[in-house]
Structure 1
């Protein structure tokens, strides 16, 4: 294989590459995807199972043209947590099913009326900073996972973090041939070895875990109040999905909003969430961590994503394997996240560069400025029990501003029309 050769979406990958590349994607998503079930107080096994199944369904719905891994969504934490505390997890599952169903309806509406409206409400001057915010607002999460925001910073954590990030950064530049497509996996292995040397890895739970264990399936209960509490999250996940599809389009060099189409990817994402609620798992979403892996490795093959999905399903039924992966310490996850999240942020800047956004036009400068400040300021807007903040709030503000500018253009009131 040529150095840094791009492996495109539909290309086949030899088995000797497929396995390590799939493992690389699994490690990238694992830390975040198992955190959500821990917060909800359920076993991560059912989540790993549904993430794998949901990803495979997504690939089928999008006709194998949209490389994306579906992991646990964080957007539901606040409203679902409220429902769980008052009614129980089964009623939260009912809310997940309702949101997924409504998301599928939105996808069908987009199929009927098209997605050209996105160019109006999110022009490049708005889409660029929105995409950049996807990575930038996760920067604190990467630092937190690494233990760098603790009141007392452990030097052991710092050593593991530096080893992991150092191997990822310099490996991405120096590795050649086969090694050049698995720098993330190599950095995880290097960080794990450093963690073992520092004595921060505990194998107790691995020894106690059963070898085989079926996921714990649960079934939803439906309540109008619970559904209305969780339903506004559809604004968040729709905005997030569009942003992820745009940044993935830039990375793979194809317009995924046109082919396979936003309606297909949005339907696949929400259908997975609906199915997750029906069997007792958590809602799913396309994962920025895996988008970052594609940006680093230039390997976009959906076969690799499908391989990671199969490994996730395998981990859900092999208890010891699942627990072994969970022993990967936070500084290792934080180390690779530093690079992956940064890649997403850089992809947003790339949209501005590739689109040759003219900042001599007042509207472009205004859009980018307002969106960045809105997303990074920490301000939030509450709609019932749903909190809009960060990238999602910035996206909504950007869409409203862009729509206002479009209407003012139609009335010939603006002073910077092309």
Structure 2
């Protein structure tokens, strides 16, 4: 295999390559995906099960044409936290199911009326910065995971962080042949060894964990008030999904919005969320960490994504393995995230470059400027229990500006329409 050879979406991968490539994807999503059930106070085993099962279902729905890993969604944390504090986790699950069903209905509407509206509502001058914000707004999370924002910075964390990051960066440039497609996995292993040497890995929970255990499946309960608190998250997840599909399209050099279609990818995502709610897991969403892995390694095969999903399902039944993976310390996850989140941000800039956005046009300059500042300023808008901020708020602002310019064009009031 030549260095940096692209492995396309539909290409099968030899088993000896499939295993490490799949492990790499599973590790990339693990830290963030397991964090959500920890915040909700539930066992992560059922989440690993549904993340894997949901990803396999997503691949089936999208006919194996959209490489994406479905991990735990952070968008539900605030409203679900309110519901859990008032009525308990069972009623939050009912809200998850409701969002999933409404999302499936939205997918059917898009199937009926098409997705061409995206180019009008979010032109490249808007979509580029929105996609960039997917990675950029996570920069602080990467630094926090690494322990770089603590009041008292531990030099052990800094050492492990730098070892992990430098291994990933140098490996992506220096490694050749098969090693060139698993720099993330190698960086995680090297970072983990560095963490062991620095004495920041705790094996206490591993020694007490059972070898085999069933995921703790839980049934939902439904309450209209709880559903209404969680339902507005539909806008957040849909905006995030569209952004992820567009950035993935740029990475794999295919228009996934058209083929397999936004309706199929949304349907796969929301069916996964619906099923997750029915069995006691948290909602799922396409994961930026795994998009970053594809961008770095140029391995886009859905067979690799599927392999990671199978491993996730298997891990949900092996208590010691799940616990062992969970001992990967924050500085290792932070070191990897520094690179992966930055690559997602760079993909947004690539949209602007590839579309040859003309910043001599006032509308393009205005859209990009306002969207970037909205997403990075920390501004938040509250609608009841739902707070829009960061990339999601920037996406909404971009859509409103796109509609405004479209209306002004129709009224022949714009001064740059003839050039665009």
In the superposition, the TM-score normalised over structure 2's length comes to 0.99
* Correspondence for 1:145: 145
Cα displacement string for residues 135-162 of structure 1 (whole angstroms, at most 9, x for unaligned residues)? 0000000000000000000000000000
Return the alpha-carbon distance in structure 2 between the equivalents of residues 243 and 337 of structure 1.
19
2:71 aligned counterpart, secondary structure: strand
Return the alpha-carbon distance in structure 2 between the equivalents of residues 366 and 124 of structure 1.
13
* Correspondence for 2:308: 308
The unaligned stretches of length 5 or more in structure 1 are: none
* Correspondence for 1:72: 72
Return the alpha-carbon distance in structure 2 between the equivalents of residues 227 and 306 of structure 1.
32
* Correspondence for 2:164: 164
Return the alpha-carbon distance in structure 2 between the equivalents of residues 179 and 230 of structure 1.
44
* Correspondence for 1:373: 373
* Correspondence for 1:323: 323
RMSD: 0.4
The unaligned stretches of length 5 or more in structure 2 are: none
Deviation of 1:20 (Å):
0.3
Return the alpha-carbon distance in structure 1 between the equivalents of residues 272 and 368 of structure 2.
33
1:79 aligned counterpart, secondary structure: helix
Instruction: Report whether the alignment pairs 1:238 with 2:238.
Output: yes
1:317 aligned counterpart, secondary structure: coil
* Correspondence for 1:191: 191
* Correspondence for 2:226: 226
Return the alpha-carbon distance in structure 1 between the equivalents of residues 187 and 86 of structure 2.
43
Return the alpha-carbon distance in structure 2 between the equivalents of residues 3 and 172 of structure 1.
10
2:316 aligned counterpart, secondary structure: helix
* Correspondence for 1:16: 16
Return the alpha-carbon distance in structure 2 between the equivalents of residues 220 and 197 of structure 1.
44
Return the alpha-carbon distance in structure 1 between the equivalents of residues 230 and 402 of structure 2.
28
Return the alpha-carbon distance in structure 2 between the equivalents of residues 110 and 384 of structure 1.
27
Deviation of 1:29 (Å):
0.3
Return the alpha-carbon distance in structure 1 between the equivalents of residues 284 and 137 of structure 2.
19
2:289 aligned counterpart, secondary structure: helix
Return the alpha-carbon distance in structure 2 between the equivalents of residues 278 and 42 of structure 1.
15
* Correspondence for 1:110: 110
Return the alpha-carbon distance in structure 1 between the equivalents of residues 341 and 147 of structure 2.
17
* Correspondence for 1:30: 30
Return the alpha-carbon distance in structure 2 between the equivalents of residues 45 and 93 of structure 1.
16
Write the mapping of 1:254-333 to structure 2, written as runs, cut at 5 A.
254-333=254-333
Which runs of at least 4 in structure 1 moved beyond 6 Å after TM superposition? none
Return the alpha-carbon distance in structure 1 between the equivalents of residues 55 and 228 of structure 2.
27
Return the alpha-carbon distance in structure 2 between the equivalents of residues 236 and 314 of structure 1.
30
Return the alpha-carbon distance in structure 2 between the equivalents of residues 294 and 3 of structure 1.
15
Deviation of 1:371 (Å):
0.1
Cα displacement string for residues 32-88 of structure 1 (whole angstroms, at most 9, x for unaligned residues)? 000000000000000000000000000000000000000000000000000000000
Cα displacement string for residues 192-219 of structure 1 (whole angstroms, at most 9, x for unaligned residues)? 0000000001111111000000000000
Return the alpha-carbon distance in structure 2 between the equivalents of residues 50 and 385 of structure 1.
27
Return the alpha-carbon distance in structure 1 between the equivalents of residues 76 and 204 of structure 2.
32
* Correspondence for 1:96: 96
Deviation of 1:384 (Å):
1.0
* Correspondence for 1:391: 391
Cα displacement string for residues 119-138 of structure 1 (whole angstroms, at most 9, x for unaligned residues)? 00000000000000000000
* Correspondence for 1:133: 133
Deviation of 1:236 (Å):
0.2
Return the alpha-carbon distance in structure 2 between the equivalents of residues 386 and 276 of structure 1.
21
Cα displacement string for residues 162-183 of structure 1 (whole angstroms, at most 9, x for unaligned residues)? 0000000010000000100000
* Correspondence for 2:413: 413
Deviation of 1:388 (Å):
0.3
Return the alpha-carbon distance in structure 2 between the equivalents of residues 133 and 150 of structure 1.
24
* Correspondence for 1:400: 400
Deviation of 1:383 (Å):
1.1
* Correspondence for 1:60: 60
